[in-house]
Structure 1
């Protein structure tokens, strides 16, 4: 019996000690044995659980939350109103405590710490609680930075869907004012349902920035100017545009006639004006079904059936084309030397001048292209032979 009484006395002493300890200001240094959890994301709420201890709680929850970034950080307990909470901020590099709040009372606690713009330190936040009794340690708190600090709308900001409500604005049970639920005021809410604000058009406003007073499509919340910016009458929104066709040319000039199947004007389909379209060549209004292979033809130049002029096919002007050599404007042979000097005589089979196939002028071609007009043989074994030197005609 005496043993039982002694044990009971010890337990009571511990409980009393814990109680006295709880309601005194106590800001210990870091122990060095804390668990460290990943980086906090600012502007969100967090609920966590720590099971590192059980039994009589008489010290800090041994977990550090590390954070960095400029601005005013605010840490607030949300679910510890029945506990004596303690919040501390430490500098990670040396463990120095920067600030602490031991509220020594059973109420919601908060702590703020400002990090200057030029401060590159990492900081640790440590949440603690004191209480008597046998339990598992738990924590439930929020952190905010800069504009995400509590907006004082009487909605617990751990569950406030719309932090940042203007002071004095009525809010619904989610903490949202009317302008936060329906920013453009067109009666269709963006994404947030509300038990206070009417959203007759539902919650799928695809155009949340509709100008005030503009008529809207009640199914999307979009005004005509938003659905059809170039106002050519072609858009996917069937409310504003007949047929609901996607506008393939969204910047049509005002007043330009368009192809109603794609929303494009003639100069958008045929940019060089040669009668062949570069894109959507199947347009029956402005195109002939053939794709323009040369979209930058000079105004007025004659073209072949692919939309190319002679100057575009034969850039060095030697009479033999470098590309699309089967064109009606070409000889049918491919120019093997596309940069022949203007006016130079060329081999009619290759489009190469003498100095391009036989640079040393010894009569044996360096080029792999045979030239019956300029060379007796090909594959000059000694390119760069001195002018006038006698050479072996086979090498």
Structure 2
């Protein structure tokens, strides 16, 4: 019995998708719920699995082809047995329609072709597909380790060696996600009256509180570690209650004030920056915040986030400090009206009560849409964040 495999139903905000990688080829056996193809959209990479055991009979689209929502992309012969494998052939003579084994590595056709073009030894690539299959994405993401100083005669390098001093260029098409990120960032800079205000916060009180209770916190909450993000999210939710315009958005000629606080947390992935949301963050405990952020971060890096998890949001927090950024001006995430930027914690000399002391300081940046938020509100919001973090007890007391 032939079963049609259809693309997922895309939400209204996603027009179409692109076949990113076929993980199964025609003639190969598939098991129920086994991943067979990845589809890249403007926001996420969607996975399509086999609905039943059988054999992949045909692919109606190739890698790189554009598909529509619910469009038939492949056909499975339910219950059929896979054809007996052909005798192993050299990589250069392998058929384009089948996977090929190189040493102990199994490569998809696209991966084999790209590895040959790049001059990469397949044996050095770690496969992330089912059963260790090396996919095209594995080859794209592969980074050749820097060559060690020559000590003795070594095997020929797999990567093409260019003459010293030669000027080279490499042209790589943007992924759909990267193109969408570029469009949104450009739109944010052109369609909003964006302004950034700065302040600094003494992180010593938070660091001391975290150091004092982190072991007990982890024990009570089943291994959940106490980080800094939960303090910032809780401080932000308290400040948003005090300054509701910062949590609002513009819709045409209307201002929409949100009675909830869906806080987006920017996550950097190999495919670009994504912003999954903490729904109703104002009602979450610090342990729930830490757990959710960790889960979203892991799934974001693995490309497992859903479109629903990255949709919406009323306010965003981004942490450039994890990459060493000392200060920056974050860009708005429309239709949100503000975004808070965290940065690197660095010891600096500070004047306190007429004395110079060393304190762990962090610069904070709040970018906001001046069409909706006045400077007084923006500065007041950021000062509230600073005061709450420098006296963390106020976060728990809500004062």
Under TM normalisation by the shorter chain, which class is it? under 0.3
Which one has a larger percent strand, Structure 1 or Structure 2?
Answer: 2
The alignment's TM-score, normalised by the length of structure 2, stands at: 0.18
Which of the pair has the greater relative contact order for Cα pairs under 8 Å at 6+ separation? 2
Which one has a larger percent helix, Structure 1 or Structure 2?
Answer: 2
